[in-house]
Structure 1
Amino acid sequence: MMSLPELFREESEVLTRSQAVAAQSTLSAGDYRDALLLLSRDYQRLMRETYRMISRSDRAERELNRANEQLQQLAQALEYKASHDPLTAVWNRGAIIQRISQTLQHGAAALIILDIDHFKKINDEHGHPMGDRVICALVARIQAHCPEAASIGRIGGEEFTVLLPHYRLADAVIVAGAIHASLNAAPLAVLPGQLVTASLGVSYGKPGSGFDALYSNADAALYDAKNHGRNRVFFR
């Protein structure tokens, strides 16, 4: 890195010569004029170089700002990918478990677990691409019947959770019933020839309780629904 004297060596030389001329009282007017012209030319050169330096600095600042924006966008994209299911765009398993645990630390919550009935048969008869479309359409149907405060997560292939912060068990059962009724009211648009139904289990967790107990109770209720013929809502 250049030192300050090295950086302004030419300017220092011109300034020294100008000061030497100014210190003399016996020079002719032409000598003083030449010294002033030399100082003026050097000042103009310094102005041009300063302008170029400022322009480069402004350009570097703009490039740095763009780079920072790109880094922020990349960080947001990575955070989104790390917490969301790539097919349905709802919370993935790890993220929804974390949200459930954090919610229970601050208050009560209800949980719905939903499992698509006979999903393997859909894949076998219509192919996996259709199975993916069914999953996405079903998630959209769930979202349409959930309150704004709900968080939907994908726990497994065709298994989903709906976290309902500060909901009582009875109110969560009403939400689960609305989802269940919607699935039985009309086929999904992607598979109009048949109903796609689901079994649902509902549970309630007190403030300070853990994820494991809340999930286990909802999961047990889900298996009650399956053992009683599927396509129904049970709670514990």
Structure 2
Amino acid sequence: MDAANPPPDLFEAEHQSMLAARAAYETGTQAGGGACHQALGDLLTSYERLLRETRRLVRRSDRAELEMTLLNQRLQDLASELEYRATHDPLTGVLNRAAIIERVNQHAQQNDLALIVLDIDHFKRVNDSFGHPIGDTVILGVVNCLKAVVPRCAHIGRVGGEEFTVLLPHRETPASEQVAETMRKAIETREFGLPDGSRITASFGVSHLSRGGCFDDAYGLADEALYVAKRGGRNQVVRAADSVLS
């Protein structure tokens, strides 16, 4: 509260009455009042004490209300933090496996969607050659590539160590293939700064899920397409329909 604008006194009327009674009391003292004057003095003393105690209780109540407000805000912040930790991958900040599965299933109840599954090529070699901290840097770089090019409606999830899924609501397979190709190029052209100067690439599988389906259906088809891409030389995009023909 601004010191120049203190809050209104809740007991202003009582305070003014007390001042008037005090003035009458002082007048009576000067005039040599008797028993009535003594009673008025006792009443004033009791009233002043009651007013002080009431003000003290109001201040304590105000402090308790402020502390409760701050505590409630802290509890809300903690609840939000716990919810975030329960649904997001701790390294990359994208949705974790359980959360992306739930998100796909929720969308699939009402609308068609496309699912892209991607896997970083030769990622084990990166970890084995340069160590896991470098591997984590590569994973973060890949996620940055995805975030930079996916549509705003997309949801990115990490479903494994170096495997990710991208949910594209309301997208048909051809449009989703183009999104996957854009992601592939973004990763291929990024400088990851590996000690040996090598590039990082990823392979992609794309599937389409009609309304009423589930994550397992979409993931199974996209994952099959992904492995066709791996067997075909990696660093490419394959849609689920192509995997059936292979």
TM-score, length of structure 2 as denominator length: 0.82
Distance 1:192 1:46, change over 3 A: farther
Report the identity percentage. Answer: 49
Residue aligning to 2:25: none
**Aligned equivalents of 1:178 and 1:189: distance in 2?**
21
Partner of residue 47 from structure 1, selected from 46, 51, 73: 51
**Matched letter for residue 156 of structure 1:** G
**Matched letter for residue 166 of structure 2:** V
Contact 1:84 1:91 in 2 (8 A): yes
**Aligned equivalents of 1:95 and 1:191: distance in 2?**
34
Superposed, 1:70-85 pairs within 5 Å as: 70-85=74-89
**Aligned equivalents of 2:136 and 2:213: distance in 1?**
34
- Specify every segment of 5 or more residues in structure 1 that has no aligned partner in the other structure, as ranges: 1-27
**Matched letter for residue 173 of structure 1:** E
Residue aligning to 1:224: 228
1:111-159 Cα shifts (integer Å, max 9, x gaps): 0000000000001111110000110011001111101010000000000
**Aligned equivalents of 2:151 and 2:196: distance in 1?**
26
- Specify every segment of 5 or more residues in structure 2 that has no aligned partner in the other structure, as ranges: 1-31, 241-246
Distance 1:131 1:82, change over 3 A: same
**Matched letter for residue 208 of structure 1:** G
How big is the shift at 1:47? 0.4
RMSD value over aligned CA atoms?
1.4
Distance 1:203 1:152, change over 3 A: same
**Aligned equivalents of 1:136 and 1:190: distance in 2?**
13
Residue 205 of structure 1 pairs with residue 209 of structure 2: yes
**Matched letter for residue 115 of structure 1:** D
Partner of residue 108 from structure 1, selected from 106, 112, 115: 112
**Aligned equivalents of 1:99 and 1:234: distance in 2?**
23
Residue aligning to 2:14: none
**Aligned equivalents of 1:89 and 1:123: distance in 2?**
21
Distance 1:191 1:175, change over 3 A: farther
Tell me which moved more, 144-153 or 29-38: 29-38
**Matched letter for residue 73 of structure 1:** D
TM-score, length of structure 1 as denominator length: 0.86
Residue aligning to 1:19: none
Superposed, 1:15-54 pairs within 5 Å as: 29-54=33-58
**Aligned equivalents of 2:141 and 2:103: distance in 1?**
24
**Matched letter for residue 150 of structure 2:** C
How big is the shift at 1:180? 0.9
How big is the shift at 1:189? 4.9
Structure 1 segments, 4+ long, off by >3 Å, are: 189-192
1:90-111 Cα shifts (integer Å, max 9, x gaps): 0000000000000101101100
**Aligned equivalents of 1:192 and 1:108: distance in 2?**
43
**Aligned equivalents of 2:187 and 2:116: distance in 1?**
15
Distance 1:188 1:156, change over 3 A: same
**Aligned equivalents of 1:184 and 1:87: distance in 2?**
22
**Corresponding residue SS for 2:199:** coil
**Matched letter for residue 158 of structure 1:** E
**Corresponding residue SS for 1:208:** coil
1:28-62 Cα shifts (integer Å, max 9, x gaps): 94110110111011101100000000011111111
**Corresponding residue SS for 1:106:** coil
